[in-house]
């Protein structure tokens, strides 16, 4: 084990093939891997997120003893924003291409929100995931109370333009948006989101939501496959998450063999930024 000061984080770029097209991804990288260790890959959520938002504090913390990669998914941060149908399958293919291009065979995955669904889906269909951390994860339930309203809004004419305009908001408006997702968003957190969001992220969010939010429920749900998971798994959930019920993670921990669930109090949908010290400690010890 290596110990020492916080590792230096580098910004890198790589070309990957997704759905037959070439896409340039920006990713953050830090740390080194010992011969018997697998790298850690961190997967952010959809929309207001990017690698430098959710993983700003966790990445350098983990990189003191591990090699860590955190990509900006297509449509987010500094990665390409192609004019495609952004779906969970598209992002899962992006993850597979990213791992293959970096020649990562064995991996430890951490995913938040939509990124959790990507990590979980990959772990279910791959024998190369060594450890899995799901943070306020999507993909663990068939429906949520807000889904009918969200389904209706996505079909209102002009909603995409309204959403795109919102992604150019000033810091006060971003703070208002984050207030609906978190218990408390620090000024630093608000500034990081403001710096990272792009019009491409609004388009990716709207198209992904339109594919996922169906009249009958949520499109992606791995609940019935959780007992297939043969990977040490940690689920973390903010007690006051207004998006995905804490019961999703609690129930999943009961179904995944050997899994455990840690609930973080006074925390909403963004534990890595709302309660970074507790979150970093829990993830670091598990990984």
Residue 194: name the closest of 171, 221, 214 by CA. 171
Which of 32, 236, 43, 282 has the alpha carbon at shortest distance from 140?
A: 236
Other beta carbons less than 10 A from residue 277's beta carbon:
9
Does the pLDDT at position 255 exceed 80? yes
Helix 199-212 with 88-101: angle, nearest 10 deg: 120
Angstrom distances, CA of residue 204 to CA of 45, 74, 169, 221: 11, 8, 17, 20
Domains present along the chain, CATH in parentheses: 9-286 (3.40.50.1820)
Q: Which of 5-9, 47-51, 67-71, 79-83 has the lowest mean pLDDT?
A: 5-9
Would you say 194 and 166 are in contact if contact means Cβ atoms under 8 Å apart? no
The predicted pLDDT at position 153 comes to 66
pLDDT of 200-243, one tens digit each?
888 899 899 999 998 889 999 999 999 999 999 999 999 999 99
Mean pLDDT of 12-26: 96
**pLDDT band per the 50, 70, 90 thresholds, residue 1:** very low
Instruction: Round to whole Å and give the CA distance between 122 and 98.
Output: 12
């Amino acid at each position: 084990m290596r110990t020492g000061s916080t590792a230096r984080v580098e910004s890198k770029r790589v070309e990957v093939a997704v759905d037959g097209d070439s896409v340039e991804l920006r990713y953050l990288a830090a740390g080194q891997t010992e011969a018997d260790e697998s790298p850690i890959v961190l997967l952010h959520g959809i929309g207001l997120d990017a690698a430098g938002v959710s993983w700003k504090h966790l990445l350098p913390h983990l990189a003191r003893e591990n090699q860590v990669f955190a990509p900006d998914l297509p449509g987010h941060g500094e990665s390409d924003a192609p004019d495609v149908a952004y779906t969970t399958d598209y992002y899962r293919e992006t993850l597979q291409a990213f791992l293959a291009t970096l020649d990562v065979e064995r991996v430890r995955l951490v995913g938040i929100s939509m990124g959790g669904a990507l990590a979980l889906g990959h772990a279910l269909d791959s024998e190369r995931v060594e450890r899995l951390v799901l943070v306020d994860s999507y993909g663990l339930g068939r429906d949520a109370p807000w889904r009918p309203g969200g389904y209706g809004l996505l079909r209102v004419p002009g909603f995409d333009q309204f959403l795109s305009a919102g992604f150019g908001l000033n810091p006060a408006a971003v703070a208002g948006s984050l207030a609906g997702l978190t218990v408390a968003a620090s000024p630093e957190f608000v500034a990081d989101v403001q710096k990272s969001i792009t019009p491409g992220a609004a388009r990716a969010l709207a198209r992904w939501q339109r594919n996922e939010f169906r009249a009958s429920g949520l499109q992606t749900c791995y609940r019935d496959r959780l007992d297939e998971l043969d990977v040490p798994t940690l689920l973390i959930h903010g007690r006051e998450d207004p998006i995905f019920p804490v019961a999703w993670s609690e129930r999943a921990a009961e179904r995944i063999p050997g899994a455990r669930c840690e609930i973080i109090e006074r925390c909403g949908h963004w534990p890595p930024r709302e309660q970074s010290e507790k979150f970093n400690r829990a993830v670091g010890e598990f990984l």
